[in-house]
Amino acid sequence: MRRIPWGMLLALLAGLGLGLVYAWTISPARVIDSQPVALRADFKDHYRSAIAAAYSATGDLARAQARLSLLGDTDSIEALNAQAQRMLASNASGQSFNEADQVVALASALDQNAVNIPTATPTTRSADNTPDAVNTANVVVTINPATSTFPASTSEIPIEPTETPQTIETQTTPVAATPRPTRTFIPTAGSPFKLTGQESVCDPNLPDGLLQVLVFNSNRRQMPGIEILITWEGGAENFFTGLKPELGNGYADYIMSPDVIYTLQLRSGSDIASGLTIPTCQSPSGDAFSGGIKLTFQEP
């Protein structure tokens, strides 16, 4: 019967343990210059929030698009909308709402593609005031008279007669060019939303007094993260679209109380829906029940 080589096994285990200690503690592997596409899902959310905050401060949509492309999302707009919904559903703090608004604003700007960045024709002027084209993108180069130095004309240099003719040399001084500051795009607020639909809903399968709100942009795409303000005599409350993504990104609802008249408006600016109260519906058998209301808002 062969004996088990305990010495060899112990040596292998000791070598394995020392290797793990060295690899995990003494000299662990370090990830350097990794791409954002390799980030974990929650870190990608932080990355998108930072991009949205930068866009909110600078309005540079082209840079925001370039940064979002590094995440490798199939659809950047859908990824931003989904993140805004998660932010609104997970946290009710004011800071979270502010960050969600920035994410929604960036998604809306990407969707509408309404940013026109002015471009300038790059030109320079040579010493003889002749415009020459240069291959510099989006930069306007002009001559600053205060810093430009032109070669002195030979006709202005006095020549003293001597026995030996003198050779007058002129030195060409390169023209110093000062770049003109570029314009910074400042995003403007979107147009107020229009109330495009208001109808009573008589569905016995829905809760009594259900007030449904749908918000669309100008391209008929539902918009999440839109704050809705509903008021009544002696009270007010706000709620947001996108908290029930299974019903639509731009969907929100509210349960109305009996014998109360409500007024509703989008916080970002919209038509006012007034005189909202629970309608009375009738089933096919003749029984009365409480229905609901459906409101539709859209950007013009």
Structural tokens at position 1 = 């019967």
Single residue among 51, 86, 112 that ends a domain in this structure: 112
Cα atoms in the 13 Å half-sphere on the side-chain side of 9? 4
Q: Is residue 202 part of a domain?
A: yes
pLDDT in tens, 23-56: 888 877 776 667 788 888 888 888 888 898 888 8
Least confident stretch, 18-22, 29-33, 172-176, 195-199 = 172-176
202 and 230, same domain (yes or no): yes
State yes or no: pLDDT of 194 exceeds 90: yes
Question: In this predicted structure, what is the pLDDT of residue 139?
Answer: 40
Listed residues 112, 134, 162: the one ending a domain: 112
d(CA 128, CA 95): 59
Is the per-residue pLDDT at 13 higher than 70?
yes
Provide the number of structural domains found in the chain.
3
In a domain, 149, yes or no: yes
Residues 60 and 103 reside in one and the same domain: yes
Average pLDDT over residues 234-258: 92
Q: What is the CATH number of the domain that holds 210?
A: 2.60.40.1120
Same domain, 165 and 202: no
Same domain, 226 and 272: yes
CA 234 and chain centroid, separation:
37
Q: Is residue 260 part of a domain?
A: yes
If asked whether residues 76 and 104 sit together in one domain, one would say yes
Residue 21 within any structural domain of the chain: no
Residue 10 domain flag? no
pLDDT band of 72, cuts 50, 70, 90: confident
Residue 31: what pLDDT?
63
Whether residues 205 and 176 fall in one domain: no
In this predicted structure, what is the pLDDT of residue 6?
82
Q: Which among 214, 225, 189 is positioned nearest to 103, based on CA atoms? A: 225
Distance, in Å, from the CA atom of 86 to the CA atom of 80, rounded to the nearest integer, reads 10
61 lies in some domain: yes
What is the dihedral sign for C-alpha 13, 14, 17, 22? negative
Name the residue range of residue 145's domain: 121-181
Token pair 């303000």 is found at 229
Share of the chain above pLDDT 90, in %: 28
Decide if pLDDT at 203 tops 50.
yes
Domain assignment of residue 204, yes or no: yes
